[in-house]
């Protein structure tokens, strides 16, 4: 006999885990099928900036306790360029709105601990090390997932299947070709991300535009700093010794008189491509997409994780409406509502990326324009407000907004 669940979820990143948690709180059963091991999923560093609506959603999902204790609320960021520093003051520009620095790794750990502690969720509601996930029955609105877990091929009948399996996942490819449109832009550079055991040299994040390329000073805690360096798209990680990383960070960040960067042991380093991607639509019959499975934004505005949470918040409410009130409205509107936000965030993330990175193809004219744009932000409250409004996050989507 085929096992059944209300919602089958592919992927245990932030999207899949949060959706399972929101559904569980409404009494809706789900099963999460994750390809990697728990250790691998919990070990990925990735993003670190949470918008207020993201923080609110995590609290509403019952996973905000450690976040409230350990998250660091920030009321501004700094832009560094042409030897000057400019603070973007959220309290003045967008009163009452701010961001919280709390690592994606911690969000994922909190969610996994909560999901695994949910005794009411039934056996195996969160499965790691699952392989070869396939779907059948989408055309008849009777989806059945097949997958291999613990050496056994299994079937799972679902009312709904949600692809939360990230950019490299399979679920997006289950849309019929004529129902699927992809928009993509790959930037000609990557980010070298570094986690270091050293106290941050700054209280707020520093986004630096330098002639040698972009650099970002972020953080995870009073003892842990996070950095990013713009590097060529085909960069070899092996060519970046710890000493070279610190040297390059100092060159790009120590541009303001008297400011010094503290260095310390590097705990982790990795490369991330800079890419924009949108898949339209985000629903085909009983298959829905959420998070990176449907869209990727370049990381400069710190939006990827926040966008994933915005999708899931809408989807959790839409599924609850369907189960509790028999209303299909939220599910019918899901794709269009998400995509409207996705394109707004895509626009902001691409704009921030072009503002702060030096493209290999940029000539001297382009470089002057870039600095002029940064000066406009420093001098015009309207320009700074536009940045601040987008950075702290667009207002949260309502169930049928």
Nearer to ligand FAD, 39 or 363 (CB): 39
* Residues in contact with ligand FAD, shown as a per-residue x/- string from 189 to 228 under the rule CB under 6 A: ----------------------------------------
Residue 291 CB, nearest approach to ligand FAD (Å): 2
Q: Note if the bond before 281 is cis, omega within 30 degrees.
A: yes
143 binds, among ligand FAD, ligand DHB, none (CB under 5 to 8 A by kind): none
| Subset of 285-314 contacting ligand FAD (CB under 6 A) | 291-292, 299, 302-305, 308
Nearer to ligand DHB, 20 or 274 (CB): 274
Q: Total number of residues binding ligand FAD (CB under 6 A)?
A: 32
Question: How far apart are alpha carbons 231 and 237 in whole angstroms?
Answer: 10
Residue 300 CB, nearest approach to ligand DHB (Å): 6
205 binds, among ligand FAD, ligand DHB, none (CB under 5 to 8 A by kind): ligand DHB
Q: Is 300 in the site for ligand DHB (CB under 6 A)?
A: yes
Determine which residue in the list 272, 358, 371, 383 makes contact with ligand FAD, applying CB under 6 A. Answer: 272
Q: Which residue has the tokens 């059963």?
A: 29
Residue 45 CB, nearest approach to ligand FAD (Å): 8
> Of 280, 107, 263, nearest to 199 (Cα)?
263
Q: Is 249 in the site for ligand DHB (CB under 6 A)?
A: no
Nearer to ligand DHB, 302 or 314 (CB): 302
226 binds, among ligand FAD, ligand DHB, none (CB under 5 to 8 A by kind): ligand DHB
- Considering only 1-9, 279-287, 299-307, 379-387, which stretch makes contact with ligand DHB by CB under 6 A? 299-307
Q: Is 205 in the site for ligand DHB (CB under 6 A)?
A: yes
Residue 38 CB, nearest approach to ligand DHB (Å): 22
Nearer to ligand DHB, 49 or 94 (CB): 49
11 binds, among ligand DHB, ligand FAD, none (CB under 5 to 8 A by kind): ligand FAD
Q: Characterize the bridge pairing of strands 76-81 and 84-89.
A: antiparallel
Q: Is 36 in the site for ligand FAD (CB under 6 A)?
A: yes
52 binds, among ligand DHB, ligand FAD, none (CB under 5 to 8 A by kind): none
Q: Is 49 in the site for ligand DHB (CB under 6 A)?
A: yes
Residue 109 CB, nearest approach to ligand DHB (Å): 16
Q: Is 302 in the site for ligand DHB (CB under 6 A)?
A: yes
Determine which residue in the list 9, 47, 63, 394 makes contact with ligand DHB, applying CB under 6 A. Answer: 47
- In angstroms, the Cα distances linking 185 to 244, 276, 311, 346 are 30, 5, 21, 11
- Considering only 156-164, 181-189, 293-301, 369-377, which stretch makes contact with ligand DHB by CB under 6 A? 293-301
Instruction: State the sign of the Cα–Cα–Cα–Cα dihedral 3, 7, 13, 17.
Output: negative
Q: Count Cβ atoms within 10 A of the Cβ of residue 364 and give its class: 0-12 exposed, 13-18 middle, 19 or more buried.
A: exposed
Under the rule (CB under 6 A), what is the footprint of ligand DHB?
Answer: 47-49, 205, 216, 218, 226, 299-302
Residues in contact with ligand FAD by the rule CB under 6 A: 10-16, 33-36, 41, 46-47, 104, 130, 133, 164-166, 168-170, 272, 291-292, 299, 302-305, 308
């Amino acid at each position: 006999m085929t096992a059944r669940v209300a919602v089958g979820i592919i992927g245990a990143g932030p999207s899949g885990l949060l959706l399972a948690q929101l559904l569980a709180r409404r009494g809706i059963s789900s099963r999460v099928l994750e390809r990697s091991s728990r250790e691998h999923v919990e070990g990925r560093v990735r993003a670190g900036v949470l918008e207020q609506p993201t923080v609110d959603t995590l609290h509403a999902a019952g996973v905000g306790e450690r976040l409230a204790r350990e998250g660091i609320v920030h009321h501004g960021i700094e832009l560094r360029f042409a030897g000057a520093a400019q603070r973007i003051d959220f309290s003045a520009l967008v009163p009452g709105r701010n961001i919280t620095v709390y690592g994606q790794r911690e969000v994922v750990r909190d969610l996994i601990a909560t999901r695994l502690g949910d005794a009411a969720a039934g056996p195996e509601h969160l499965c790691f090390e699952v392989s070869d996930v396939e779907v059948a029955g989408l055309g008849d609105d009777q989806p059945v997932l097949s997958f291999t877990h613990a050496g056994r091929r299994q079937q799972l009948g679902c009312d709904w299947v949600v692809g939360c399996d990230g950019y490299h996942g399979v679920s997006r490819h289950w849309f019929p070709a004529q129902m699927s449109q992809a928009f993509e832009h790959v930037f000609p550079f990557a980010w070298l991300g570094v986690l270091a055991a050293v106290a941050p040299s700054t209280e707020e994040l520093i986004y630096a535009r330098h002639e040698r390329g972009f650099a970002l000073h972020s953080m995870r805690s009073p003892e842990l700093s996070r950095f990013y360096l713009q590097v060529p798209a085909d960069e070899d990680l092996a060519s970046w010794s710890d000493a070279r990383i610190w040297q390059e960070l100092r060159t790009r960040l120590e541009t303001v008189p008297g400011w010094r960067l503290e260095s310390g042991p590097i705990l982790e380093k990795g490369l991330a491509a800079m890419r924009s991607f949108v898949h339209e639509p985000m629903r085909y019959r009983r298959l829905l997409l959420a998070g990176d499975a449907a869209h990727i934004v370049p990381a400069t505005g710190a939006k990827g994780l926040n966008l994933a949470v915005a999708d899931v918040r809408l989807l959790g409410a839409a599924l609850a409406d369907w189960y509790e009130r028999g209303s299909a409205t939220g599910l019918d509107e899901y794709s269009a509502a998400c995509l409207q936000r996705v394109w707004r965030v895509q626009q902001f993330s691409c704009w921030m990326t072009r503002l702060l990175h030096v493209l290999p193809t940029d000539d001297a004219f382009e470089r002057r324009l870039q600095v002029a744009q940064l000066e406009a932000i420093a001098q015009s409250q309207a320009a700074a407000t536009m940045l601040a409004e987008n950075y702290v996050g667009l207002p949260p989507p309502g169930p049928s907004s």
